[in-house]
């Protein structure tokens, strides 16, 4: 019976050694997993910062596009107004050129007697 007790104690010691080895292996695995989790958490934080930075850039570009569109609309309205003003001025110039031609025909090409007669009969 002494042999069986010593055999049982030997098995318990061997089992205890195996349990300790397993616990050490589990601790090593746990440490590696913790380190892996920490490194992945750091990567996630960096990516979140990068995403926020990209969102800020997109917002900045959207504001720039809106500002540019507003300026473009203003320039379009101004251009249309300028085009209308130019057309009006060209019409005015045409009418003034016609007036100048009328005065030339009236006072340069007609005789003095014809001009006096025209002025007298109008009154």
pLDDT at 107 over 90: no
Which of 76, 73, 53 shows the shortest CA–CA distance to 65?
A: 73
Residue 16 pLDDT grade (very low, low, confident, very high; cuts 50, 70, 90): confident
Sequence spans of domains, the chain: 2-122
pTM for this structure?
0.52
Per-residue pLDDT, averaged over 39-55, amounts to 97
Q: What value does the mean pLDDT take over residues 23-36?
A: 96
Do 2 and 9 contact (CB within 8 A), yes or no?
no
| Element of type H or E holding 56 | helix 2-103
Could you tell me which residue, 2 or 114, shows the higher pLDDT?
A: 114
């Amino acid at each position: 019976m002494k042999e069986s007790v010593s055999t049982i104690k030997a098995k318990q010691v061997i089992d205890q050694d195996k349990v300790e080895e397993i616990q050490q292996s589990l601790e090593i695995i746990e440490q590696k997993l913790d380190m892996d989790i920490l490194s992945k958490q750091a990567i996630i934080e960096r990516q979140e910062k990068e995403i926020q930075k990209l969102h800020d850039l997109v917002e900045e570009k959207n504001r720039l596009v809106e500002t540019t569109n507003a300026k473009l609309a203003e320039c379009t309205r101004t251009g249309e107004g300028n085009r209308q003003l130019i057309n009006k001025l060209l019409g005015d110039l045409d009418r003034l050129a016609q007036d100048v031609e009328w005065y030339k025909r009236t006072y340069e090409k007609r005789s003095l007697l014809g001009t006096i007669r025209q002025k007298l009969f109008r009154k």
